[in-house]
Amino acid sequence: MAHPYCTVDEVKAEFPFISETEWGVGLAPDDTKLAAMIEENDSDIDAALDARFAVPFGTVPQSIMRISRDLTVADVRELVFSEEEQPDRVGPGRRKRAETRLTAIADGSYALDAQGAPQADTVAGDDRRPTGTWEDDADVDDRAFGRDTEW
């Protein structure tokens, strides 16, 4: 499977307080706009990882699906709500968390999860592989991921 790495329905599910009839009305984007937002984020993910992986991914790792969803949710949050009214329940730190994950995957300090995804290349002469696991609710600021860390 190539793009999309997340679906319109997955993004909408993160905003249960926006009714189905409100999507596409006012500032809430319609399905076409949401799909375009997802595609833009997925292309950014591919650009960040194309030096290390064959992208777009055929078998999409869970981490990549979460990054795509989190970036798109952050985009919708910023589009629909003013800075003062942005709902905390949609996760104000999602963009930062997603970008931190993406950077760690891109620089090889974190290996992608299984599901047939290719692992990060190793530096010449370095046969170690990055290890670790991202958890959905983990606060990345509270965790240190290193090449030799076992979780």
Q: Is the model more confident about 61 or about 125?
A: 61
Is the peptide bond preceding residue 4 cis, with omega within 30 degrees of 0? yes
Q: Is the model more confident about 133 or about 111?
A: 111
pLDDT, tens digit, 9 for 90 and up, residues 118-139: 444 434 334 444 444 444 434 4
Q: What element of type H or E holds 49?
A: helix 31-49
Short-list 66, 18, 16, 12, CA closest to 34: 12
**Amino acid 89: pLDDT:** 60
pLDDT at 117 over 50: no
pLDDT, tens digit, 9 for 90 and up, residues 15-56: 988 888 899 888 889 999 999 999 999 999 999 999 999 999
For the chain, the maximum distance between any two Cα atoms, rounded to a whole number of angstroms, is 57
Tell me how far apart the alpha carbons of residues 134 and 151 are, in angstroms, rounded to a whole number.
Answer: 10
Where along the chain do its domains lie? Answer: 8-142
Percent of the chain, pLDDT > 70?
69
**Amino acid 10: pLDDT:** 96
